[in-house]
Structure 1
Amino acid sequence: MPADLNDYFNKKNGNSNNDERKPNFNFKKPNVPNLSGGLGKFSGIIYALIAIIVILVVAKPFVVINSGEVGIKSTAGKFDPNPLQPGFHFFIPFIQEVRIVDTKVRQINYTSTEGRNEANFRGSGIETKDTISVLDSRGLPVSMDITVQYRLNPQNAPQTIAAWGFSWENKIIDPVVRNVVRNVTGKYTAEELPERRNDIAAAIDMGIRSDIDKQPNQPVELASVQLREIILPPKVKEQIERVQIAKQEAERTKYEVERANQEALKKA
């Protein structure tokens, strides 16, 4: 075969082999709409909204106060004298703080047995303490079961918390109740306590109200004081029972004598 024909066929075969080895990657790009131009105008607003949402979630610069509660706002550790009323309130995070306190009627049961099964869970408003141990006028031990109902004065709540702290109940109510009960009970003998129960209950109520009202800023509103039970020593209780039985026997004997005299007069 002539040289020029060999060159012709070699070139032709070489081009066809190269075309088979090299794949064609010339794909067309999808036609995606360009949104950058449209969002660019609002990107600042979007970033600002995201920043505000993050701040609200992390800092939580608001508080919701329910009925029966007040809020105490402090700025740099100083309490605001005006309590926050129920509703929605904003404050400055990291500079201000709002603490919520309960202003509903609460109850303390000073008891030896009764009320021990009542729930003392958080928010129940009922607390159980040990019965009040006192001494009568002769030094005999007596126990008094008392129930006290009270509430935090909502108008003066910031001043109360500032003066007494959030454990104000243990510093105001408990010492006053125990002190008054001991002073009143110490004026009587153990035997007189059951007979003078009503007088003693009235004196305890009046004494507790008087001492609480003397506290500055009227921190507490007293609802009621109830004397539930007087627990006497066993020997005193037995003695009282014997005296009562003797009185009943004497009354029964007196009644029988009077009846017998009346019958005798009728026969005469």
Structure 2
Amino acid sequence: MSTEIPFKEKKNPAPRIIGWSVVAVLAAVVAFNSFTVVDYGHVGIRKTLGKMSSETLKEGLHLKVPFVQTIIPVNVQVTKSEAEAAAASRDLQITHTNIAVNYRVDAAGAYKLYNNVGPDYANRIVSPAIQEVLKSVTSKFTAEELIQKRDTVAVEVKEGLAARLGNYQLIVTDISIVNFEFADAFNASIEAKQIASQKAMQAENDLKRVEIEAKQKVAQAQAEAEALRLKKQEVTSELIQLKQIEVQEKALEKWDGKLPTVTGGATPFIDLNSISPSSSSSTAAQAAPKATQAPAATTQP
């Protein structure tokens, strides 16, 4: 009698391996979706089945319910927004203004901003606010004042934007008015006015210079007159005599011991060389007979 051993069929391990692999992948996916990381400079808003939570998540690692909750990152760093607006000044001059606004999202109010406005707040809120505030402030100043009082204009624009954007949890940190552009006719009038002002200033400076020079001349003349007056007070008869003696002494020092041959003055000029000894003796002889004859004539009867 023969005995038969029944054949046991071996099971295929492939389905089991696939099953465990699927389970492992699902577990990994679930584990991966069970946490999230909020980057630096951002906050997170938890969203559960389409509903936002008012809780704000800070930077770092956070847990969440997989496939049920999502974390929306919100940038709270300073953001720059540039805009160009055309507005009319108080004197009805059309001006084109380029402005740059730096702002950031208030971390505590990020939930309200995204819940009421959404992620496109820059185009829906910031740009229109810049246009409106800039036009409102520009209308308070004349065209010249916009140029001369740029800092005042910037302060008012910043205050207006801070009040308007603050309602949407946006904080204005700084603004810069890059440029004011006006019509060509207004630019020409400003240039002409500046030229006229410079000429007037130059004329005023020239007038001041002439006045200063005139005062200097008067002061110099007064000083010279005062010096002359003081000198006159110092001149006395004794001083005059002393000066005459000094002049005579200097003349004697220069004299060579010879008398001048020609003299002049109140009397006629006489040439002393022309008077020789012979001529003088003959003149004396002629004078002698006349002297002797005169007494003889007197003695006749």
- Distance 1:135-1:59 versus aligned 2 partners, 3 A rule: farther
SS of the residue corresponding to residue 138 of structure 1 reads: coil
- 1:187-219, CA deviations, whole angstroms, 9 ceiling, x for partnerless residues? 222222111212211111121112223x1xx51
Aligned equivalents of 1:86 and 1:198: distance in 2?
Answer: 37
On the 8 A contact 1:191/1:236 being kept in 2, the answer is no
SS of the residue corresponding to residue 144 of structure 1 reads: strand
Q: Which amino acid aligns with 1:149?
A: N
How many residue pairs align between the two structures?
207
State yes or no: 1:178 paired with 2:167: no
Aligned equivalents of 2:112 and 2:20: distance in 1?
Answer: 40
Q: 1:56 aligns with which of 28, 31, 47?
A: 28
> What is the CA-CA distance between 1:59 and the residue it aligns to?
9.1
Q: 2:67 aligns with which of 55, 72, 94?
A: 94
State yes or no: 1:265 paired with 2:215: yes
On the 8 A contact 1:147/1:228 being kept in 2, the answer is yes
> What is the CA-CA distance between 1:48 and the residue it aligns to?
5.3
Q: Which amino acid aligns with 1:147?
A: A
Aligned to 2:205: 255
Aligned equivalents of 1:172 and 1:94: distance in 2?
Answer: 32
Q: 1:244 aligns with which of 166, 189, 194?
A: 194
Aligned to 2:38: 65
SS of the residue corresponding to residue 104 of structure 1 reads: coil
Aligned ranges 1:5-44 → 2 under 5 Å? none
Q: 1:154 aligns with which of 107, 116, 119?
A: 107
Q: Which amino acid aligns with 2:125?
A: I
RMSD: 2.8
Q: Which amino acid aligns with 2:119?
A: F
Aligned equivalents of 2:57 and 2:120: distance in 1?
Answer: 20
> What is the CA-CA distance between 1:107 and the residue it aligns to?
0.7
Aligned equivalents of 1:156 and 1:52: distance in 2?
Answer: 40
On the 8 A contact 2:98/2:179 being kept in 1, the answer is yes
On the 8 A contact 2:76/2:105 being kept in 1, the answer is yes
SS of the residue corresponding to residue 149 of structure 1 reads: strand
- 1:81-131, CA deviations, whole angstroms, 9 ceiling, x for partnerless residues? 102222223323433222212111111123xxxxxxxxxxxxxxxxxxxx1
Q: Report percent identity of matched pairs.
A: 26
On the 8 A contact 2:79/2:104 being kept in 1, the answer is yes
Aligned equivalents of 1:97 and 1:63: distance in 2?
Answer: 9
- 1:55-74, CA deviations, whole angstroms, 9 ceiling, x for partnerless residues? 53489513221111112221
Q: Which has the higher helix share?
A: 2
- Distance 1:49-1:103 versus aligned 2 partners, 3 A rule: farther
- 1:165-185, CA deviations, whole angstroms, 9 ceiling, x for partnerless residues? 111122222222211111110
SS of the residue corresponding to residue 80 of structure 1 reads: strand
TM-score w.r.t. length of structure 2: 0.62
Aligned equivalents of 2:185 and 2:61: distance in 1?
Answer: 61
Q: Which runs of 5+ in 1 are unaligned?
A: 1-35, 111-130
On the 8 A contact 1:69/1:103 being kept in 2, the answer is yes
TM-score w.r.t. length of structure 1: 0.69
- 1:128-163, CA deviations, whole angstroms, 9 ceiling, x for partnerless residues? xxx121111233220112111111111221121000
Higher RCO (CA-CA < 8 Å; seq separation 6+): 1
Aligned to 2:97: 144
State yes or no: 1:104 paired with 2:77: yes
Aligned equivalents of 1:142 and 1:259: distance in 2?
Answer: 41
Aligned equivalents of 1:222 and 1:183: distance in 2?
Answer: 18
Q: Computing the radius of gyration over CA atoms, which structure comes out larger, 1 or 2?
A: 2
Aligned equivalents of 1:189 and 1:136: distance in 2?
Answer: 5
